Chain A
Amino acid sequence: MSKIVHYIYKHRYLFSRRIVQVSIILLYIAGNLYGWTILRGNLSMGKLFETIPVADPYAVLQMFFAGAILLWDAILGAVIVLLFYALIGGRMFCSWVCPVNIITDAANWIRKKFRLDRDEWQLRFSKKVRYWILALSFVMSAIMAVPVFEFVSPISMLHRGLIYGMGFGWAAVLTVFLFDLFVTKNGWCGHLCPLGAFYSLTTGKSVLRVYHIQPNCTLCMNCKNICPEKQVLAIVGKESGYIDFGECINCGRCIEVCNDDALKFSLRYIKKEKEGLENA
């Protein structure tokens, strides 16, 4: 019994994330099927309790580049969502909301189980590619006069598919899965996805951040092994402080695998934590 409790404790954020991710999609599905009013629409744009608009700020920005003058509803929705992640949640969308995260995590899990993650079996390319894709999407939106990523996004194909019918959308999702499984570790979310890149650039200064307590660290590197964006854990073992990178998705996996209480979620600006080099 205590083993199960321990297991759940060691995966507390993982389970919470799955519950949040699945509930959001289920609420949208119930909104469409049964007319539940909690969430209607989908992750591109929805309405909370049929009044508060919530919109994908990246999609709205593409539309802006495409030359569309939108109604206030859409703009307000985008501002609400962007402010929430930028001020409070960080890049939480990627780990707590986005349904593709479940797919890519599954690929990662299988990759580990079958020991496919040997370094020499990976197609290596820069994690900065996503920023180029992000910039390209704005240029292309302006040239083609449509929000270009919205026509190819496997993210919206998945959530829209789950809510309104999949069509051939499963093929795009399968592509992402196989790419992450066989080609590159965290290939989609960590290298290519421009939505993740957008949130990386905008949400680095949020309140909710992972905090590292350096004196407790035993340099076991569990956190770096599990982290999908390793580069953000640069301070681990070196100095105490907040993980100050927008690329951190606040998934909390590092906190779960740490056996030395060297990592925790904390509230920057609100809680007073010691920062910098410390003598243990």
Chain B
Amino acid sequence: MEKKEQKGLSRRKFIIGTLQAVGLSVLGGLVWGAYIDEATSAPLVLRPPGALPEKDFLKKCIKCGLCVEYCPYDTLKLAAPGDNIPIGTPYFEPRKVPCYMCTDIPCAVACPTGALDTDTVSDVVDGKKQLNINKARMGLAVINMESCIAYWGIQCDACYRACPLIDKAITINYMRNERTGKHAYLVPTVHSEYCTGCGLCEYACVTVEPSIYVLPRHVIKGKAGQHYLKGWEREQKLQLIQEKRSRFTTPRSEKSPLEYLNEGDLLNE
């Protein structure tokens, strides 16, 4: 009888103990999870070339720092606590040290986990993988037209000259200066299909605070959506015709409006 009672007690103790641990785990998990949620969001951070999209990157980065060690220009840094960047992950600040676009991409090659994926920064030539740093998409440069002195009419092409993809990623456009009536604006323009986000332009910019700066692509790259088409471009025009056919043809609209109106049925309705 006594034994039975003891057994019941110890079982009860075990169950209570387990439930307590579960309760504490839920509490701990909630706090921990809330912290992780905050600590992993850094929408403006710039990652090394070949970095996967931020979510996958944080999943795979083991925070070993090998990319930082193999960067010959000390461009890359590992985020320390207090930097407000997911702790231990590599990033760079182009105004301090830009990415110099090494053709052998030592940082991405050094990555042991695949958080920096060399496949995204290489071409396949004759069935062989060949690194191509120009395919890097670390960010996208944007120009502040209000503080950029070229937009004031002062001649400056620092960013254009600094760009490793000169005349592709940054071009100089000419505009008439209406104020003087006899001068031209020579203004830089960034083209997102070529810009790698290396930040050499931001580094070279002559204004006190940079007037051209790199931001993560997803932050600034707008999207018009599929319902807007450039009818003056051959491919999109064809697409337009196709879509008109498939989406806007009903038994009624198959006939021309004139035909349809003159059928006379309408009068009887």
Q: Which residues of A contact B (CB under 8 A)?
A: 31-32, 35, 40-42, 44-47, 53, 55-56, 59-60, 63, 66-71, 73-74, 77, 128, 132-133, 135-136, 139-140, 143-148, 150-152, 156-157, 160-161, 163-169, 171-172
Which B118-138 residues sit within 8 Å CB-CB of chain A?
A: none
Other contacts beyond A53-B112, A132-B24, A168-B82: 20, CB < 8 A: A41-B69, A45-B113, A59-B62, A63-B59, A63-B113, A70-B60, A71-B114, A128-B21, A139-B29, A144-B33, A145-B59, A146-B36, A146-B40, A152-B32, A156-B63, A160-B63, A164-B77, A165-B77, A165-B78, A167-B80
Which A residues touch B78, using CB under 8 A?
Answer: 160, 164-165
Kindly state the separation between the CA atoms of A53 and B80 in the bound complex, as whole angstroms: 24
CB atoms of A165 and B33 under 8 A apart:
no
- Known contacts being A42-B65, A165-B80, A167-B82, is A144 close to B112, with CB within 8 Å? no
- Known contacts being A73-B112, A136-B25, is A67 close to B88, with CB within 8 Å? no
Kindly state the separation between the CA atoms of A67 and B55 in the bound complex, as whole angstroms: 11
Which A residues touch B77, using CB under 8 A?
Answer: 164-165
CB of A169 to closest CB in B, whole Å: 5
B side interface size, CB within 8 A: 38
Q: Which residues of B contact A (CB under 8 A)?
A: 21, 24-25, 28-29, 32-33, 35-37, 39-40, 55-56, 58-60, 62-66, 68-69, 77-83, 86-88, 111-114
**Closest partner residue, chain B, to A128 (CB atom):** B21
Kindly state the separation between the CA atoms of A167 and B86 in the bound complex, as whole angstroms: 13
CB of B120 to closest CB in A, whole Å: 14
CB atoms of A164 and B87 under 8 A apart:
no
Kindly state the separation between the CA atoms of A60 and B113 in the bound complex, as whole angstroms: 9
CB pairs A–B below 8 angstroms (6 shown): A41-B69, A74-B112, A144-B33, A144-B37, A144-B40, A151-B36
Which of A45, A59, A68, A150 sits near B66, CB closer than 8 Å?
A: A45
- Known contacts being A31-B69, A71-B112, A164-B80, is A150 close to B63, with CB within 8 Å? yes
Kindly state the separation between the CA atoms of A70 and B213 in the bound complex, as whole angstroms: 33
Which A residues touch B37, using CB under 8 A?
Answer: 144
Which A residues touch B82, using CB under 8 A?
Answer: 167-168
Closest 3 CB pairs of A and B: A167-B80, A168-B82, A45-B64
Kindly state the separation between the CA atoms of A143 and B30 in the bound complex, as whole angstroms: 11
Which of A59, A136, A172 sits near B81, CB closer than 8 Å?
A: A172
Kindly state the separation between the CA atoms of A156 and B62 in the bound complex, as whole angstroms: 10
Which A residues touch B40, using CB under 8 A?
Answer: 144, 146, 151
CB atoms of A77 and B112 under 8 A apart:
yes
Which B residues touch A144, using CB under 8 A?
Answer: 33, 36-37, 40
